[in-house]
């Protein structure tokens, strides 16, 4: 097992219309109906898992770090103020060149919650929180045809790079 590093811990966040709740395994039952919708996998690939698989994934993610301790895992459930869960936002924090904290962001919205600016709002709040917790470099990997996610990335200050990861373009806030 690797050296355990100290990572930020996800805390409750709020924006104008949304509450970002730190992920708990108990969120699985509530999230499963929309997370099992095959339409949300159009750009990310994969397939919806079973409820038991989602529970196990949430349990692992809620631990807050990878088993070797080399990554911090920050996961939030996005809840609209109506009370409905509408998505997730996550950040995997690592140490980059020069021991700079960097975070790879990701977001997923329920199919019927897309197109309302929720991802932009949640990702923006998350980016601000991360920067306030010592993260200097933000990245996101986005499918080249996913216009909505490109818009989210631009809105939070990211720009595309020439780096391709598993067929997706890496976006970053780096000036390099």
DSSP string, 105-120: EEEEE-GGGTTSSHHH
Tell me the domain boundaries of the chain. Answer: 13-172
CB 28, CB 60: distance < 8 Å: no
Report the DSSP pairing between strands 159-165 and 101-109: unpaired
**Which residues, listed in sequence order, are joined to residue 65 by a DSSP beta bridge?**
72
The predicted-structure confidence for 67-79, as pLDDT tens digits, reads as follows 999 999 999 999 9
Neighbour-count burial for 13-51, b at 16+ CB within 10 Å, e otherwise:
bebebbbbbbbeeebbeebbebbbeeebeeeeeeebeee
CB 156, CB 138: distance < 8 Å: yes
Q: Does domain 13-172 have CATH number 3.30.310.10?
A: no
The predicted-structure confidence for 148-174, as pLDDT tens digits, reads as follows 999 999 999 999 999 999 999 999 998
Cβ neighbours of 146 (radius 10 Å): 16
The predicted-structure confidence for 120-150, as pLDDT tens digits, reads as follows 999 999 999 999 999 999 999 999 999 999 9
User: What is the average per-residue pLDDT within 104-122?
Assistant: 96
pTM beyond cutoff 0.75 = yes
């Amino acid at each position: 097992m690797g050296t355990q590093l100290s990572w930020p811990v996800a805390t409750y966040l709020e924006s104008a219309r949304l509450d970002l709740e730190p992920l708990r395994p108990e969120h699985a039952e509530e999230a499963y109906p929309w997370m099992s919708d095959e339409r949300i996998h159009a750009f990310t690939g994969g397939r919806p898992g079973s409820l038991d698989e989602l529970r196990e994934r949430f349990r692992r993610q809620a631990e807050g770090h990878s088993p070797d301790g080399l990554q911090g895992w920050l996961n939030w459930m996005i809840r609209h103020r109506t009370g409905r869960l509408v998505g997730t936002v996550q950040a995997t924090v690592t140490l980059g060149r020069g021991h700079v904290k960097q975070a790879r962001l990701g977001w997923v919205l329920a199919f019927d919650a897309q197109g309302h600016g929720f991802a932009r709002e949640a990702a923006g709040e998350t980016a601000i929180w991360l920067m306030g917790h010592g993260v200097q470099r933000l990245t996101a990997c986005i499918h080249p045809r996913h216009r909505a996610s490109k818009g989210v990335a631009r809105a939070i200050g990211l720009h595309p790079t020439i780096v391709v990861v598993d067929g997706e373009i890496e976006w970053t806030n780096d000036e390099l």
